[in-house]
Structure 1
Amino acid sequence: MHDSEFEQLVEEALGLLPKEFADKLDNVAIITSDWPSRSQSHILGKRGERGLLLGLYEGIPQTRRGRYGIGEILPDKITIFKIPILMISRTPEDIRKNVRDTVIHEIAHHFGLNEMAIRNAKKVKIEDKVK
């Protein structure tokens, strides 16, 4: 898959965000990369996590930041990793779904949700579909 096609899928996922969340994305850059850098992979290892890194939020969640100071401040960063997503996806629809899920997952971190809260939210959503 070409980079431009993958970036389009990320844009598509962002376009699916409810307006109330999209409007509150504050000072965050969303980029794509083929693989995590060495320092990004190191973050995963420090947390004691294993496996493929599909995306990464780097920054201060909105729930923990105070007011920004005077002047410009670098944005938080969400990176979506192309090759790991392609590796776990069997079909084009799998790629689209995995990109969407990863974008939403990393944006949830931007809004202050930790891994457990994200897993619980996904579980509730799945249970609602079953009912």
Structure 2
Amino acid sequence: MPVELSPDDFDRLVTDALDALPDEVARLVHNVVVLVQPTAPPEDPDLLGIYDGVALTERAANHAGDLPDRILLFRDNLLAFCDSAEQVEEEVRITVVHEIAHHFGIDDARLDELGYA
């Protein structure tokens, strides 16, 4: 049974996860917006989150003027994935870090090694 949490409370968890990023990491995240969506896209309904953009390691030197990269978090999936409010908080933190890592060009295999898969 999914954990019940209001959209505002869920958004606060996302804000807390972003605020908890180390300053040296947060300073390097530019032109990225973090959005919460109720559900994942139909073509990949089990996603907890996704990075939609061009990783810093793949950008051309003249990369500028584009729309911001996006990190999408899927609230319903995160709530259904967890058994407690504490687990939701932890999973939101892990998912935020996971998707920001993709912004820096870190792939899923390395994230798995680091415990963020």
- Partners of 2:61 and 2:81 in 1: CA distance: 39
- Which residue matches 2:60? 66
Query: Cα offset for 1:37?
Result: 2.7
Residue 93 of structure 1: SS of its match in structure 2?
helix
Quote the offset at 1:2 in angstroms. Answer: 1.5
Q: Which residue of 2 aligns with 1:25?
A: 29
Using the TM superposition, give the Cα deviation of residue 81 of structure 1 relative to its aligned residue in structure 2, in angstroms.
Answer: 0.6
With normalisation by structure 2, the TM-score equals 0.88
Alpha-carbon contact 2:50-2:71 (below 8 Å) kept? yes
2: CA distance, partners of 1:69 / 1:88: 37
Q: 1:79 aligned to 2:83?
A: no
Query: Which runs of 5 or more structure 2 residues have no equivalent in the other structure?
Result: none
Answer whether contact 2:55 2:105 (CA < 8 A) is retained: yes
CA separation in 2, counterparts of 1:29 and 1:18? 18
The residue that corresponds to 1:9 in the other structure is: 13
| Residues 39-77 of structure 1: per-residue CA shift (max 9 Å, x gap) | xxx3x4xxxxxx72000001100111023456x320110
Structure 2 residue 102 is matched with structure 1 residue 109: yes
Question: Structure 1, unaligned stretches of length 5 or more?
Answer: 45-50, 124-131
Instruction: Give aligned-pair identity as a percent.
Output: 33
Task: Tell me which structure has the larger Cα radius of gyration.
Answer: 1
Counterpart CA distance in 2 for 1:85 and 1:112 is 23
Q: 1:97 aligns with which of 74, 90, 95?
A: 90
Cα distance in 2 for residues equivalent to 1:10 and 1:75: 18
Output the aligned Cα RMSD: 1.6
Task: Determine which structure has the larger helix proportion and give its number.
Answer: 1
Count of residues in correspondence between the two structures: 112
Q: By how many angstroms is 1:3 displaced?
A: 1.1
Q: Which portions of structure 1, spanning 4 or more consecutive aligned residues, are displaced by more than 4 angstroms?
A: none
Q: Structure 1 residues 67, 34: closer, same or farther in 2, change over 3 A?
A: same
Partner of 1:55: 49
C-alpha separation between the residues in 2 aligned to 1:13 and 1:67?
30
